[in-house]
Amino acid sequence: MKTLVIAEKPDMGRNIAAVIEPRAKNNRTYLEGEQYIITWAIGHLVGLAEPDAYDPKYKRWNLRDLPIIPEQFKIIPNPKTKDQLKVIGEVAKRCSHIVNACDAGREGQYIFALIQQQLKLRQPVKRLWISDLTAESIAKGFAELKDGVEFEYLTQAARARSEADWLIGMNASRAFTTRHQTLLSVGRVQTPVLALIYDRQKEIEAFESQTFYDVLAVFKQEKLDYTGTWQGERLTSQEKADTIAAKVNGKNGVIAKYEVKETKEYPFKLYDLTLLQRDANAKYGYSAKKTLDLAQALYERHKVISYPRTNSNYVNEQNIEGMHKALHMLKSTPYASMAEGAEPSRVNINNKAVCNPQRVEDHHAILPTLKRPGTLSKEEQHIYDLVIIRFLSHFYPPAKYKQHTVLTEVEGETFKTGIKELLSLGWKVLITRDKEQKKAKPSSKKGKEDEEEETQEWNDRSFDLVPDHPVHCKKSEVKEKATQPPKSYTEGTLLKAMESAGKSIEDEALRDAMKDSGLGTPATRAATIERLKKVGYITMQGKKITVTQKGRTAVELIRHAGVELLASPEMTGQWERRLNQISKGEASADVFMQNVQKFTISIINKVSSQRPAPSSLFGGDEDKAKGRGKRSTGKADAAARAREERPPKSAPKSKTATDASSVRSPLGRCPRPGCDGQIIEGRKGYGCANFKTGCSYVIWKEFAGKNVTHAMLKSLLLQGKTQVLSFKNDDGSTYKGRIVLAADGNGKLSVQAEDTSASVK
């Protein structure tokens, strides 16, 4: 009898067949040769069953029916791919052995385990464990097949992860939804990600900008001019800053300290999916999902890049030869001028910045294949360009600089200068050529003024300072600046935060467990962001991500319920650490699941005693998620199901707005005459909690180019005005003023200029 090989995807199956059965007959859903039959899954062919598979009463969401904790989890085929599952079952009857050729990782192991369980496959199993699909790796992998029982612990970890996610997501989503009569999606990954965005937005809103002053001086030494920034405590008095500037202007000084060192900047790491998504978002504004879709098209349809859903930035030793061949291929493409300047010897097995097998897990970094690109769409070309330039950069030398640090002393005042003098571009010549070829405009860098006091780049001249010679201060000036709030997340910066969420955790062991996984995986992070959009928790303002009213309330309800771990990266870290231990046989999957069940029960108990929140706290976003969609029967994803099902009409409804205090803190008394209500925060403004009884008082959050923060609001309510702020005129000039609240109780704001009697309304 023959041996059945089950790959995870059709392309993988065909690649394997090309090596082990090159003359195999193509039967569309499988390939058959003399020794092997090669077929494939299409992702998850089997998934955990919905709650109503255990009891029909679970079709209706009811808090009294929770928690749902199956004694034995049921699995069901995905109806969309049931025909392929049937094919595997039929060809398996003609085989005496099976090779699990799904992805070399936890999820690949789980995909195979579910197929094996559903079809009751009893044949002995061998495991193909390779990190790429080169012919050499496939041949070597089949020559060194491992026994399937060696991966039993990994299977247990994969199963525990899936079932635990089902328990938490299914129960928490139903509990919060039925308790608060609004569709609330809760998940182990999506909820901590939402909390990251929420916390950042709260930081921005609470931030109160402070004005400060920098003193800059231009020094001259023979033919050399350079700028220094005054060193000392931050200056908040313009008068003091003016005094220092006047004191040094036109005076001679000396070089108090001068250090020079040569530095090198090496190429950035090869792309994994998350890094590619971050760069595509920063350069082209593409969403994480769009970049994933484009990369997948380059991989599957055009076959010009390797598997994109990777979390590795490195390659294996056997990939080095392929990288050299890909370099040669690029010499006959539009990238020829870049490829010709490359030095092949720089990419070798001893270059640990490129070749590091210990850092390669399921798949190596994203690389170009040997296939020349045909006609790509403009957007596909953008992604391919990123991959090619990052790939080629490793065949170039590092960029070299001289780093100059100067302390100049004039009249007892010290000024610091940092100069980054370019010696050779090295790999950065690729970036320059790329911009020239596309006639790209250099991206504007915000905060450049802040950077100049730290390091000034000198790319077209040398910095020839003689430390023993005097200098002359030819000019000095005072620059007014303002402290800046944290930046809103973009999809790119959010992906970085998801990837490195462990950095915000104190416990070292938890941080290590999350170091390579963070919140979600490279393959799921884009879907998590899209899910948060779809359920109405976040919205996009250009590239900025903001939390909706519904998203804010969801986070606050979860935290006020006493289940903070649901909104914390800490829980993911604890789970990942335990799952890693299970996969190595160092911890028990049964004990892990018992603890998850206890946590699930505690969630239900705490949510059940929570006061229902009034519908006004959710805005109108929840309506987008209501209604019954097609029921998912594939991989269990409680968050996805939560957005597709309508909460039951029988759940209790809140009747008054006074319950808002459980999730909305009052920010001050309503200034409207005769109203004794409290001001609470809304989506676009701060309004009176008595709006249902007719009070329409509101202070809008955005005014005169400023975001009215909590601190500014309190000043307005108590004193009728804010502190002194900087405003811009239409011609770009700035002036000082305060935001003033009208005294007639209508919430109208105006700007009162400090230096004139004019005001802006």
pLDDT of 657 reads 33
Map tokens 């530095």 to a residue: 263
Least confident of 75-84, 126-135, 434-443, 489-498: 434-443
Domain with CATH 1.10.460.10 in the chain: 159-206+487-644
pTM, whole model, 2 decimals? 0.77
Return the structure tokens found at 531. 């899910």
pLDDT of 728 reads 79
How many angstroms separate the CA atoms of 398 and 387, rounded?
A: 18
Map tokens 């992070």 to a residue: 525
- pLDDT tens for 669-696 read 888 887 878 888 887 888 888 877 778 8
- Are the CB atoms for 604 and 174 separated by under 8 Å? no
- Residue with the bigger pLDDT between 734 and 502: it is 734
pLDDT of 290 reads 96
What's the topology of domain 2-144? Rossmann fold (3.40.50)
How many angstroms separate the CA atoms of 410 and 246, rounded?
A: 11
> What is the average pLDDT across 228-236?
96
- Are the CB atoms for 302 and 380 separated by under 8 Å? yes
pLDDT of 389 reads 97
* Average pLDDT score, the chain: 86
- pLDDT tens for 163-174 read 999 999 999 999
Domain with CATH 2.70.20.10 in the chain: 211-264+400-482
- Residue with the bigger pLDDT between 392 and 695: it is 392
pLDDT of 761 reads 42
pLDDT of 163 reads 96
Is residue 439 pLDDT above 60, yes or no? no
In CATH, the number for domain 159-206+487-644 is 1.10.460.10
Task: Specify the CATH superfamily of domain 211-264+400-482.
Answer: Topoisomerase I, domain 3 (2.70.20.10)
Least confident of 206-215, 655-664, 717-726: 655-664
Is residue 443 pLDDT above 50, yes or no? no
Least confident of 7-11, 257-261, 576-580: 576-580
pLDDT of 46 reads 97
- pLDDT tens for 246-276 read 999 999 999 999 999 999 999 999 999 999 9
Is residue 223 pLDDT above 80, yes or no? yes
Is residue 697 pLDDT above 90, yes or no? no
Count Cβ atoms below 10 Å from residue 32 Cβ, excluding itself. Answer: 18
Count Cβ atoms below 10 Å from residue 668 Cβ, excluding itself. Answer: 16
pLDDT of 641 reads 38
In CATH, the number for domain 273-393 is 1.10.290.10
How many angstroms separate the CA atoms of 496 and 494, rounded?
A: 5
Domain with CATH 1.10.290.10 in the chain: 273-393
- Residue with the bigger pLDDT between 434 and 526: it is 526
Is residue 642 pLDDT above 50, yes or no? no
> What is the average pLDDT across 378-388?
97
Count Cβ atoms below 10 Å from residue 357 Cβ, excluding itself. Answer: 15
How many angstroms separate the CA atoms of 18 and 24, rounded?
A: 8
Active site residue 396: no
How many angstroms separate the CA atoms of 752 and 758, rounded?
A: 7
Quick one: 358 exposed, middle or buried, by C-beta within 10 A (0-12, 13-18, 19+)?
Answer: exposed
Is residue 444 pLDDT above 70, yes or no? no
Q: Which of 213, 307, 396, 686 is catalytic?
A: 307
Confidence of residue 655 (pLDDT cuts 50, 70, 90): very low
- pLDDT tens for 31-47 read 999 999 999 999 899 99
pLDDT of 536 reads 94
DSSP 58: G
Is residue 515 pLDDT above 90, yes or no? no
DSSP 617: G
